[in-house]
Amino acid sequence: MKTRSRTRIEKDSLGELAIPADAYFGIQSYRAARNFPISGTQVHPELLASYLKLKRAAARANQAVGALDPKRARAITRAADELLAEKPEELARHFVVDAYQAGAGTSQNMNANEVLANKANELLGHALGAYDPVHPNDHVNMSQSTNDTYPTALRLATLALAGPLVEELDALAEVFAKKARKFDGVLKAARTHLQDAVPIRLGQEFAAYADTVARCARLVDDARTGLRELGIGGSAAGTGINVPKGYGPAIVKELRRAFRDPRLEQARDLRAAMQSQLPVMVYSNALRAAALELTRIVNDLRLLASGPSTGLAELRLPSTQPGSSIMPGKVNPSILEMVNQVLFKVLGNDSGLAFAMQAGQLELNVMMPVMAQLVLESSAIMAKALAQLRLRCVEGIDANRERCRAYAENTTQIATALNPVLGYGRAGELAKEALATGKSVVELVREKKLLTEKQIRSLLDPKKLT
């Protein structure tokens, strides 16, 4: 943390500390920053934004139910608005707690409380650190606890990042569908077990990719549902201690407005919303499933574009950068390689989140800070990687039509079409002979006069076979 020349003295239950005089954070944030110099990584900006919006909503809800006077409520609201207008790098000056911190996010909650209290007091013309007339605990944290605000902010931040991810999945599916239409007439050989199979159209392969990605988008979209159930109002143990009557409905109303989501609702059981982070895990599992499918598709694209002289070379990828520091003219599938790495990270994050999710005990899961770090990172990097995949790779993919047709006409498994006429055994002999002689199945059928030209055209036309 940067050393500042002027300080102020703050006091808590553990004693006194000198705090930088112009800091919006206070003694509890400062202690946490000194206790946890772990990663040098700030919590995700979306979590900070969600926390500020949540605190603003709480101030308004407390005013609405008569628990907080209008002057303090307006000051907290204005403080939150001004902080939300700051850029992430500016917010980092105020939110100093490392991403890896004390359990449950108590340090993060107090960081928000102190920053908002000091900002509000400054707006009212009072000194930083005096916490009068706005106090971090008594006013900013009124009707709340870390135990209901942190999981609520976590779910809201995840929802905020899930939207762009679903949009990117839908956009990628549409680009695959567009390519499917463009490649519909491109004949090629299908492959099963990485061995030659019957003919297929390249457009059919891409249509299957489009369908899979669209299904992934729906999977992630559906997984957002549980995140809209918020445990806010549960206070310390989900029992609602110190929460005034009407506060729950009032803050949900404010949150719906702040996050522009009319489907947000207070959880049916506030204890369950505190004990269990199942909705976060379900969402992460949806990302995992999507990452696995996308990895498969990306690997296919790399394989189909392998070469260009000694590989399959059925696809031509757009060139994005030189591929070697020593081999002239080499171009690698760099975007696809990047996407693979991001998807591997998403898979790893899901595993880490699973350990954290099951570590909840009794009335609280204290591992929420690492859950937040993992799930928010996954959502953000996955969306950005898919955007680059779409813009810098899939949109520019073209087909090597000549190579594809050659494979389609030379696959020995075109003999499969002869089964109904010649039988499986005779067709198998032809396929074996084709491999041994290097002749195509069609050539052998003609040589042996097993079928008329009309039958050949009817049975062995690759386009008809697909």
Residue 149: HSE in the Cβ half-sphere, 13 Å Cα cutoff: 30
Same domain for 297 and 195: yes
Same domain for 165 and 66: no
Q: Find the CATH number of the domain harbouring 177.
A: 1.20.200.10
Catalytic site positions: 324
Per residue in 415-438, pLDDT (tens digit) is: 788 888 888 888 788 878 888 888
pLDDT class of 88 with cuts at 50, 70, 90: confident
With a pLDDT cut of 70, the percent of the chain lying above it is 98
Token readout for 363 is 């009335």
User: Residue 199: inside a domain, yes or no?
Assistant: yes
Query: Quick check: 4 pLDDT over 70?
Result: no
User: Residue 2: inside a domain, yes or no?
Assistant: no
Same domain for 182 and 162: yes
Per residue in 31-48, pLDDT (tens digit) is: 999 999 999 988 999 999
Same domain for 439 and 302: no
Which of 97, 116, 142 is the last residue in one of the domains? 142
- If one counts the domains in the chain, the total is 3
The answer to whether 255 and 156 have CB atoms below 8 angstroms apart is: yes
- What average pLDDT score do residues 457-463 get? 73
Residue among 80, 25, 86, 85 nearest 53 (CA):
80
Q: Find the CATH number of the domain harbouring 69.
A: 1.10.275.10
More confident residue, 47 or 323: 47
The predicted pLDDT at position 3 comes to: 46
How far apart (Å, rounded) are the C-alpha atoms in residues 142 and 76? 11
User: Residue 8: inside a domain, yes or no?
Assistant: no
Q: What is the rounded radius of gyration, in angstroms, for the C-alpha atoms of the chain?
A: 30
Same domain for 450 and 371: no
pLDDT class of 71 with cuts at 50, 70, 90: very high
pLDDT class of 455 with cuts at 50, 70, 90: confident
User: Residue 14: inside a domain, yes or no?
Assistant: no
The predicted pLDDT at position 375 comes to: 98
- What average pLDDT score do residues 193-212 get? 95
Same domain for 86 and 156: no
The predicted pLDDT at position 5 comes to: 61
The predicted pLDDT at position 412 comes to: 80
Same domain for 177 and 67: no
How far apart (Å, rounded) are the C-alpha atoms in residues 197 and 188? 10
User: What's the mean pLDDT when you consider all of the chain?
Assistant: 94
User: Residue 11: inside a domain, yes or no?
Assistant: no
Same domain for 195 and 322: yes
Q: Which amino acid is at 61?
A: A
User: Residue 243: inside a domain, yes or no?
Assistant: no
Same domain for 156 and 106: no
Query: Quick check: 1 pLDDT over 80?
Result: no
Q: Find the CATH number of the domain harbouring 417.
A: 1.10.40.30
How far apart (Å, rounded) are the C-alpha atoms in residues 159 and 49? 12
Query: Quick check: 461 pLDDT over 80?
Result: no
User: Residue 261: inside a domain, yes or no?
Assistant: no
The predicted pLDDT at position 457 comes to: 78
Which of 81, 107, 142 is the last residue in one of the domains? 142
Same domain for 452 and 382: no
Same domain for 424 and 344: no
Which of 113, 142, 171 is the last residue in one of the domains? 142
Residues spanned by the domain of 434: 411-465
The predicted pLDDT at position 2 comes to: 47
Per residue in 284-318, pLDDT (tens digit) is: 999 999 999 999 999 999 999 999 999 999 999 99
More confident residue, 160 or 434: 160
Same domain for 129 and 222: no
pLDDT class of 264 with cuts at 50, 70, 90: very high
Token readout for 312 is 């399959």
User: Residue 105: inside a domain, yes or no?
Assistant: yes
More confident residue, 373 or 459: 373
